[in-house]
Structure 1
Amino acid sequence: MKLANAFAALLLSANAMAADPGTSPWGPQDEIGRLNLVTPASSAAILSRIGGGRAYDLSVDYFVGMPSWQAAGDPPYLMWMTHTPHGNELSDPMGTGKAMNQHVSYSGSAISMYSHMGTHIDALNHFGLNGKIWNGFKVSEHLGDRGWNVAGAEKLPPIVARGVLIDVAASKGVPMLPDNYRVTGKDLSEALARQKVSLQKGDVVLIRTGRMQHFEKAQAFMQNPPGMGLDAARFLVEQNGAMVVGADNLSFETFPSESKDNYIPVHTYLLAEHGVPIMELVNLEDLARDKVYEFAFIGASLKLRGADAAPMRPIALPLR
């Protein structure tokens, strides 16, 4: 058994080193990968099945002190007031006079944040391999000091598709998966069987680990989160044709890496090799509570030109 495990690890390592970004079946100019599966016909098909009732908000709040990659040197979420009613009385920025500023109150604010904060979607330029991203676009030719000129977040279309929740935590009979738990394809298959739901090509598949219950406590949320392994990613993409994948944690996959030659193999497998966008920090608690496992997923991200990710506020509409 030890010899077999060692051989499997060696094979995985060799495959990781040999991996190269995938070539798009949608042509040499493709920048959105599997999001090409969103078509007028597919959108109309899922929208025709909406049953009415509650719309589930799958996004999180943005607030000072929220979970972030600050420990890795990335900027935290910041918000500050640029205008306040009392401040305007004193500075009169619009030149309207004190009496008018006392009559008309005016508040304004500004924010600063890392693009991979809160509920967001990774564009296909986020991770690459060997100097190239999805569809063979070269870093040396397409990345400048104003961001990417290919595969930027502004290229991501609105997503209207069948959504599926896979509640792995509930399938395991726990409120939250343990620290560093690596979700496998078998875990996903068992949860789907328990939910009596099957995946279809072109689905938006969202996996619940239960970690969202710690979101208001950044340190607890960030520490040793559970997440996906390569086996789970292959199950979703190669066996079931997922279009977009997402989860309720900050990194989608878990750490430490299962490959000694790639510190983040699930991201490169999905984004660079298969053109599958990743959503992170998706709030799945209400869906899980109400056992809504199949729904119309509707979401669009901010059109941040050249960016490698963008915030989004997706919703889930139960089907009849």
Structure 2
Amino acid sequence: MKTTLSVMLLGLALATGSPATHAAQEVGISPWGPQDEIGRLNLMTADSQAAVLARLAGGKSYDLSVEYHIGMPSWQAAGDPHYRIWMTHTPHGNVVADPLGLGQAMNEHVSYTGAAISMYTHMGTHIDALGHFGLDGRIWNGFDARTHLGDRGWTVAGAEKIPPIIARGVLIDVAASRNVDMLPDGYRVTREDLRAALAHQQTRLEPGDVVLIRTGRMRHYDDAEAYMANPPGMGMEAARFLVEESGAMVVGADNLSFESFPSEIEGNYVPLHTYLLAQTGTPIIELAYLEDLARDRVYEFAFIGGSLKLRGSDAAPLRPIAIPLR
């Protein structure tokens, strides 16, 4: 993980801009009203959901999530915990401890297994809630941390507010359009990369899409150190193209952190996260498994996903599926 930490520290070193640089970036105020907590997810309506479901081709579906396991890739540079799973009950252990007072005969007859997990909220396939990053102590829609962030999380814009997502999904396979299996370490995806990939696929974007970018990094998922070391990611102009020019509702990729490092913006070490979450209200999906879609060249699909309703949390695990459209 040393390479990842070095990249992060380099980004932090660039985050030393003048006060004017900081002042130029402000949180977005929602066009959906002062109580809005879900940002661009408001673009999803009953009509838009019905329209995409009416186009289902049926048959094969694609699982866009990764497995959680000890040793999986995870963000460690800021001291966040690894994924852990441990057994709370095993058949033999119950015979010995008899935690329910059932007696040896019952415990030998009925085999009871239980487990517990501990993890950082930004592990595995997950969606960032709008409170994940902010600017000057405020998040999307001007909600202030001093008022809305307590010991048990955010009282606004938490992960529990994220609705089930049913929308048109689009895969942009940047790696394939550049004729490589995986983009090089540290590669910064540009606006022109996205436009070229869409032209190569003969795919167009529509307002309200869930847009997922394939860098090919998922090929390293079983090697956590290789996966995390200096990954490719999105540049600022690429993010602006997706949101401002194309109208994406949600954006995501197969890497962790979505954006590339070091930062392109003086005074901000994670400018894409603050631009997407705090300034435009755009949720981010990370660690999406896109290899099967890419193999079968499925570029347009119904995206259906529900995240865990973790009250007050800044992110939640997501189990999305993709179903091709007619």
Partner of 1:71: 77
- d(CA) in 2 for partners of 1:171 and 1:287? 14
Q: Is the 8 A contact 1:81 1:108 kept in 2?
A: yes
- Counterpart AA for 1:23: I
Residue 214 of structure 2 is matched in structure 1 by 208
CA distance in 2, matches of 1:47, 1:170: 28
The aligned amino acid for 1:212 is M
Aligned equivalent of 2:250, options 214, 227, 244? 244
State yes or no: 1:136 paired with 2:123: no
Equivalent residue for 1:107, pick from 94, 113, 117? 113
Corresponding position of 2:8: none
Question: What displacement does 1:260 show?
Answer: 2.1
AA aligned opposite 1:296: A
- Structure-1 separation of matches of 2:76 and 2:29: 34
Query: Where does the alignment leave 5 or more consecutive residues of structure 2 unmatched?
Result: 1-13
The match for 2:276 among 270, 276, 300 is: 270
SS of equivalent residue, structure 1 residue 72 = coil
> Deviation of residue 15 (structure 1)?
6.1
Residue 198 of structure 1 corresponds to 204
Q: Is the 8 A contact 1:67 1:219 kept in 2?
A: yes
Q: Which residue number in structure 2 is paired with residue 189 of structure 1?
A: 195
The CA deviation string for residues 204-260 of structure 1, in whole angstroms up to 9 with x for no partner, is 000000000000100000000000010100000010000000000011001111112
- What is the distance in 1 between the residues matched to 2:77 and 2:41? 32
Partner SS state of residue 77, structure 2:
helix
Matching residue's letter, 2:162: L
SS in 1 for 2:42: helix
- Structure 2: how far apart are the matches of 1:232 and 1:283? 20
Native 8 Å contact 2:172 2:211 kept in 1: yes
CA RMSD of aligned residues (A): 1.3
Matched to 2:87, the amino acid is M
Contact 2:21/2:266 (CA < 8 Å) preserved in 1? no
Deviations 1:171-224 (A, max 9, x none): 000000001100011000000000001000000000000000000100000000
1:238 and 1:185 map into 2 onto residues whose CA distance is 12
* 2:36 alignment counterpart: 30
- Partner AA of 1:63 in structure 2: H
Q: Equivalent residue for 1:3?
A: none
Q: What percent identity do the matched residue pairs reach?
A: 72
Aligned to 1:224: 230
Number of residues of Structure 1 aligned to a counterpart in Structure 2: 310
Name the aligned partner's letter for residue 196 of structure 1: Q
Following TM superposition, by how much is the alpha carbon of 1:16 offset from its aligned partner in structure 2, in angstroms?
5.7
| Structure 1: gaps (5+ residues) | 1-8
Match of 1:59 among 61, 65, 71: 65
Q: Deviations over 1:278-297 (max 9, x none)?
A: 00000000000000000000
Alpha-carbon distance, 1:71 to partner: 3.4
Closer/same/farther in 2, CA of residues 245 and 16 from structure 1, 3 Å limit: farther
Deviations 1:294-316 (A, max 9, x none): 00000010000000000010000
Instruction: Provide runs of 4+ in structure 1 moved above 3 Å.
Output: 12-17
Give SS of 1:71's match: coil
Rounded to whole Å, the distance in 2 between the matches of 1:245 and 1:223 is 22
Residue 3 of structure 2 aligns with which residue? none
